[in-house]
Amino acid sequence: MKNFKDKVAVITGAGSGIGRALAQELAASGAKLALSDINEAGLKKTATDLGLAEDRLMTRVLDVADRQAFYDFADDVVNHFGYANMIFNNAGVALGATVEDMKYDDFEWLMNINFWGVVYGTKAFLPYLKQSGEGHIINISSIFGLVGIPTQSAYNAAKFAVRGFTESLRIELELEGSPVSCTSIHPGGIKTNIAKAARMTDGVERITGADKEKSIQDFEKLFRTTPEEAASTILKGVRANKRRVLIGSDAVAVDAMQRLLPTSYQKLIAMGQKYMNK
């Protein structure tokens, strides 16, 4: 997909961060947009800032963890525009917790959004993307879909799962000669509110040596890439039909570390955490 003009792009988590930046760049490229977010205020701001006419924009307050709601959204998008070409499964949440202290409710909350939301979005829209004759599925994983990080086991589980799910799907689509492709996206630290909105347990302090507020501050220091830079990189990857897109120099470094030290990287991360705790 080299050109986004008049293509219908569906974006979850469009009320802020990467989702909003994707909407802005796609609108500038002439795309039609179907935007969703569970945050109604954020979604309205994105829509207002875009200033698009109704024939080029629709919005929906959507909980991506609600399978039926996602399927209804897909039907409504196609009823509104007549077709759909791209689904950006971008919505996500964060959870800081050790495996021992993590509550099942929190684990399920994160998986329902970060993994099942991707699955629902992919399966709800895939038939429509095929019908359009030219489609692309863009699933947002993470650098935490490449390496394991202490206190991030739930997030790791979801993002590793998104990566595997997307890579498997890509091969299936190629084997059947489908007009649809897909790409796994692996952002590093992006300047969004995901850390501030994260759930966090007391066990994090035991591992990191810092309370919740300090942990969030330390984590946000690693955010180097703007949402606008991330969106631009993602869309370049879609145009090039890349299988995997790394966003930010930190993502490139983490990917290289995992390739060079596929298991030993764990020792390096543990040593780094111990050093930070001093």
Provide the CATH number for the domain around residue 184. Answer: 3.40.50.720
Residue 3 forms part of a structural domain: no
Residue 272 forms part of a structural domain: yes
Alpha-carbon distance 27 to 18, whole Å?
14
Tens place of pLDDT per residue across the chain (278 aa): 889 999 999 999 999 999 999 999 999 999 999 999 999 999 999 999 999 999 999 999 999 999 999 999 999 999 999 999 999 999 999 999 999 999 999 999 999 999 999 999 999 999 999 999 999 999 999 999 999 999 999 999 999 999 999 999 999 999 999 999 999 999 998 877 766 667 777 767 767 666 666 655 555 566 678 999 999 999 999 999 999 999 999 999 999 999 999 999 999 999 887 766 66
Is the sign of the CA dihedral 141, 143, 145, 146 positive or negative? Answer: positive
pLDDT at residue 1 in the model? 85
Quote the domain boundaries for residue 87. Answer: 8-277
Residue 12 forms part of a structural domain: yes
- Which of 188, 140, 176 has its CA nearest to residue 161? 140
Residue 78 forms part of a structural domain: yes
Residue 247 forms part of a structural domain: yes
- Catalytic residue numbers, as ranges: 155
- Structural domains counted in the chain: 1
Task: State the pTM of this model.
Answer: 0.91
Half-sphere exposure of 240 (CA within 13 A, CB side): 11
Q: How many CB atoms lie within 10 A of CB 45?
A: 15
Rounded to a whole number, what is the distance in angstroms from the first to the last CA of the chain? Answer: 50
Alpha-carbon distance 266 to 2, whole Å?
39
**What's at 85, amino acid-wise?**
N
**What's at 57, amino acid-wise?**
L
Alpha-carbon distance 64 to 266, whole Å?
32
Residue 250 forms part of a structural domain: yes
Q: 258-265, long-range: CB within 8 Å, 24+ apart, which pairs?
A: 258/146, 258/147, 265/147
- Which of 233, 235, 65, 243 has its CA nearest to residue 166? 243
